[in-house]
Amino acid sequence: MFTDDDEEFYDPSCPPYPQQGDIFPAVPLLTLPASNELVLLRNIDNRAYLPALQPGPCLAVRERVINDAFEPGPEYVVVSGQRGMGVVLTQTCDLIQSEYWLVSPAREVEGTEVDRQNLFAGKYATLFGLPPHPKGYFQESYVDLSDLHRVHKQSVPLGDRVGCLTRSVQNSLSEKLARSMSRRWGYEPDEPVPITGWYKCNRCNDYYVENQPQKFVEGESFPRCPNCDKIHKTASWYPLLKHKKS
């Protein structure tokens, strides 16, 4: 894992094309309201703003009081938004042909509860650390890979890019992203066994240790794993499937 002392974190000569891990300022970051009802923007005469939203007076109307909401097509809705530093997470090979990209906000470490040593040691499952930019564009920061925002690529012009990652750091980001999005989930010790069957400790699969299947009975509690106890880790039990042809 890279540290803030690593001089090869940022590529000083960014290529003339976008890449995964590119860093942009003033990215529009939008968040939907915490509600199952949307607020729609309509013309002053209550007609939908389609196909393009025009400047001028408009109505903000609750979705449930409009009979023709989303008929025959999309509506403009009210969301909260801000502009801030963002890191592109879409794969490099998909950026050119994709109209929309996934980005994650970059937040400064200072003033948060994030432990910087654990951050740059890679101990946070979904956090990826960014050392201070050598040209001072941003201070020591991090991105939460579970905090994804969809933006149109026209909203992040390549000319605005303030940083890109070296190839080795891109690989680290890609691996971190894959682990954070596709980790195999498992039951911890003392959790109830949901169904009688055979289980293995997922964490032990990463090590050269004996990891034989064990049968647990519904209603019992999952035990501790002696292998995990030796390295001060928590067991992660997952159910095994029957061996059969798909």
Give, in order, the Cα–Cα distances in Å from 58 to each of 35, 48, 63, 64, 215: 22, 10, 15, 18, 63
Give, in order, the Cα–Cα distances in Å from 112 to each of 116, 117, 174: 10, 13, 25
Which domains does the chain carry?
1-28+84-183 (2.30.30.110), 33-78 (no CATH), 185-246 (no CATH)
pLDDT tens sequence across 119-141: 999 999 999 999 999 999 999 99
Mean residue pLDDT across the chain: 90
d(CA 191, CA 197): 15
Question: How many secondary structure helices (H) and strands (E) does the chain include?
Answer: 4, 12
**Total-model pTM:** 0.76
pLDDT tens sequence across 217-237: 999 999 999 999 999 999 999
pLDDT tens sequence across 165-217: 999 999 999 989 988 887 778 999 999 999 999 999 998 998 999 999 999 99
